[in-house]
Amino acid sequence: MTDDTSDVRFASASKRFGRTMAVRDLSLAIPRGAFFALLGPSGCGKTTTLRMIAGFETPTSGNIFIRGENVTRVAPYRRSFGMVFQNYALFPHMSVAENVAFGLKMRHISRSEREERVREALAIVQLNQMADRYPKQLSGGQQQRVALARAIVIKPAVLLLDEPLGALDKLLREEMQVELRSLQKSLGITTVFVTHDQEEALAMADQVAVMRAGEIEQIDAPGAIYERPATEFVASFLGASNFFDGEIQSVSGDRVRIDIGGSVIELPAVGVPRSGRVKLAIRPEKIKLAPAGQGRPGQTIAAVIREVVYKGPTTHVIMDRSGTAFSGLLQNDATRDWSPAPGMVVDCAWAESSLVPMKSA
């Protein structure tokens, strides 16, 4: 299989450390120009995956391609990638300009062109005035920009970001998210970044791959992966989800009737087995709550409020339905004419597309 539109491709790549499989039979193509997020909890193999692109780890089996070239056995310094490390790894004995120029110097680019490109790269990250400073004289955010400039100045085929914003405070992090994304778009550089922060992945990436125990659970655009999570793991790792265990009652045409513990609901028969059990996920904010007796039958179930947690813009409501707890979210806007309280019976309603069947593991 040759795929000209992908800058990075894994072909059944596996990495084993001793007795643990860090990455298991990974096949993945990252299209040119994409901003690709590897998301998952620690130990899921996302960092190992990134490091295999760099060549800092060699796959135990399988192959890795950068721009169509098989780089599996190619040393890191002969591959075309730029990397921003978690701690930036700026060389402390070199000035900002020398740090940025390092990659160009290693590629034997003439002094005049080097100076020109360093100036350009520093202009992109808005650090021209800092060229003669040393890394320890810079703030965390500035160091991060220098690291970025150093990685992009060599015009690599792929830019790798290892938890790039992890060391910054929350405010700066959100600012850098926007900045990194617009920079990535304007440069059009294929970017792979590793993060354990779901919000960061959703905010920045075009494509999010959720990893778990060395395997990719799902790859999708941020909207799709949040709205239509494929597995229980994805549904609960990315944001909060409620799960209902359902029993298929009958299938008629493209509709299926599912019994979720006493209430029967109807769903399109897409991604749902013909018979047996199915797990359904729904986001708390997709559940429309109303005082009992006001919901539409068929898509409504009744529940008792157990707990109410006020969170400023929203109110979280923990409910109980025949022994199963689940949560809902109310916007604290002025149009709502009722207040939830423990012990109150409410009707829960939702659009049928909000109820997502989970792939059985």
Partner 1 sequence: MRMLRPTLVVLALPPLLMICAFFVAPLAFLFVISFMTPSPEELFQYQVTIGNYLALAQDSFYWLILQRTLVTALIVLGTCLLLGYPVAVVVSRMTPRKRLVMLMVLLFPLMVSNVVRAYGWITILGREGLINVTLVDMSLIPYPLRMLNSAGAVGAGLLTILLPYMIISVANTLAGLDKSYQEAAQSLGAGPVRSFIHVTWPLSSPGVAAGLSLVFFLTLSAYVTITLLGGPRFKLLVSLVYDSVTTLQWPKAASLSFVLLAFALIVGALIQAGLRPQRVQGKG
Please, which residue, 160 or 272, has the CB nearer to partner 1?
160
- Residue 55 or 284: the one with the smaller Cβ distance to partner 1 is 55
Query: Smaller CB distance to partner 1: residue 106 or 292?
Result: 106
**Shortest CB 176 distance to partner 1, Å:** 19
255 phi, psi to nearest 5 deg: -115, 150
- Least distance to partner 1 from the beta carbon of 15, Å? 17
Q: How far is the CB of 136 from partner 1 (least distance, A)?
A: 5
Residues near partner 1 (CB under 8 A) are 54-56, 75-78, 81-83, 85-87, 89-93, 102-103, 106-107, 136-137, 150-151, 154, 160
In the complex, minimum distance from the CB of residue 150 to partner 1, in angstroms, rounded to a whole number: 7
Nearer to partner 1, 100 or 349 (CB): 100
CB of 87 to partner 1, least distance (A): 6
**Nearest CB to partner 1, comparing residues 124 and 302:** 124
Q: Which is nearer to partner 1, 85 or 243 (CB)?
A: 85
Pairing of strands 61-66, 6-17: antiparallel
Min separation Cβ 24 and partner 1, Å: 24
Output the smallest distance, CB 77 to partner 1, in A. Answer: 5
Strand duo 35-39 + 207-212: pairing: parallel
- Which is nearer to partner 1, 103 or 284 (by Cβ)? 103
